[in-house]
Structure 1
């Protein structure tokens, strides 16, 4: 992974799309994908399923394809325009490639149900991510997704507060405020 640390804490689909900030690719290698999954482990319980699995280039390619398709569909959905049919179909195919089931088990006291997917690791991971994308894209809140207002940032976020302007107050917000302060106070 580059020196640029991915933002996490948005909806999973947004975190995935945000792994391509301003021309960089934070998921360029299987090791990058593993590092990103580790960052998501507390929020994305299925990420733990891949802790002991060696991720391959094919697994990475499946995730990258979901990311690119999600980004394109999301851009259309947030502007209420028709997304490319091929992108919608690709996200649906990714979900179907690793069907989800609720596995029932007895834990000694009660029956539990744990959602799981079948198939190879890359297909399972791509399916989980495509499902997260589908949930966001089909949600009416998708029109509230914003792009960071910093001039050099392309990160997306779903604001909890209507006045939020930056992907991260500590990252872009601080940079913008420092630049404004400098412009107001620079020697003439």
Structure 2
């Protein structure tokens, strides 16, 4: 796994925010957006549009608002009001109708949104951000402990320090090892 591959597996809104890394924007064009949407397809089943310019612009807008809100929370500050308004506007731009259905073992809920594909995608991503912002788990939100990493994560374990053991954890541990060896000489 390298820094040009999007990190996935965190809450959807954090995965979106983490598409901006210290190395740059991983959603630099419609092809990159399409690749990211393919990685997140199981969490965005309602999106049936193309990763076109409108979708890219809408996703980047939601990402900007979510990043400002989550970044502030990670630093112990109040989220900017403009970011909260931006997320609410994105959700409200494609109103949804909840459908409940019995799947044989439990009741499953799905939301069918109205509007253009880009608006529906932005609304789903903004809703994921709203859901996390209002979840008590957001209090655990952290920034990666590696000095040169800007990614966020919600730790399942309180001792977790890095966005990913493969991406930053190993790199930091190897650097510490070499520093110890150098000091022993």
* Same fold flag (TM > 0.5): yes
Contact 1:72–1:87 (CA<8 Å) still a contact in 2?
Answer: yes
Render the CA deviation track for 1:147-176: whole Å, top value 9, x for unaligned. 111111111000000000111111110001
Q: CA 1:78–1:150 in 2, change beyond 3 Å: closer, same or farther?
A: closer
1:57 equivalenced with 2:53 (yes/no): yes
Counterpart Cα distance in 2 of 1:31 and 1:57: 10
Identify if the C-alpha distance between structure 1 residues 39 and 99 changes in structure 2 by more than 3 Å, giving closer, same or farther: same
Are 1:70 and 1:133, in contact at CA under 8 Å, matched by a contact in 2?
yes
Contact 1:79 1:143 in 2 (8 A): no
Q: What count of residue pairs does the alignment treat as equivalent? A: 180
Q: Aligned equivalents of 2:10 and 2:108: distance in 1?
A: 29
Picking from 128, 132, 137, the partner of 1:136 is 132
Per-residue CA distance 1:86-144 (angstroms, 9 max, x = gap): 2111111100110111247899xxx9863211111110000000000001111222121
**In structure 1, C-alpha distance between the alignment counterparts of 2:16 and 2:142, rounded to whole Å:** 15
Task: Give distance in 2, aligned partners of 1:77 and 1:58.
Answer: 29
Gap runs ≥5 in structure 2 = none
Query: 2 CA distance for matches of 1:80 and 1:113?
Result: 34
Q: Distance in 2 between matches of 1:181 and 1:175?
A: 10
Select which of 172, 176, 179 maps to 1:183. 179
Specify the SS of the correspondent of 1:82: coil
Q: CA deviation at 1:54?
A: 2.6
Q: How does 1:1-188 map to 2 (within 5 A)?
A: 4-46=4-46, 49-50=47-48, 53-103=49-99, 114-186=110-182, 188=185
Is the alpha carbon distance of 1:35 and 1:185 closer, same or farther for their aligned partners in structure 2, counting shifts above 3 Å? Answer: same
Given that residues 117 and 124 in structure 1 are in contact (C-alpha distance below 8 angstroms), is that contact kept between their aligned partners in structure 2? yes
Change in Cα spacing, 1:162 to 1:106, as seen in structure 2 (3 Å) is closer
Cα distance in 2 between the residues matched to 1:166 and 1:112: 34
Distance 1:112 1:133 in 2: 21
TM-score (norm 2): 0.88
Gaps of 5+ in 1: none
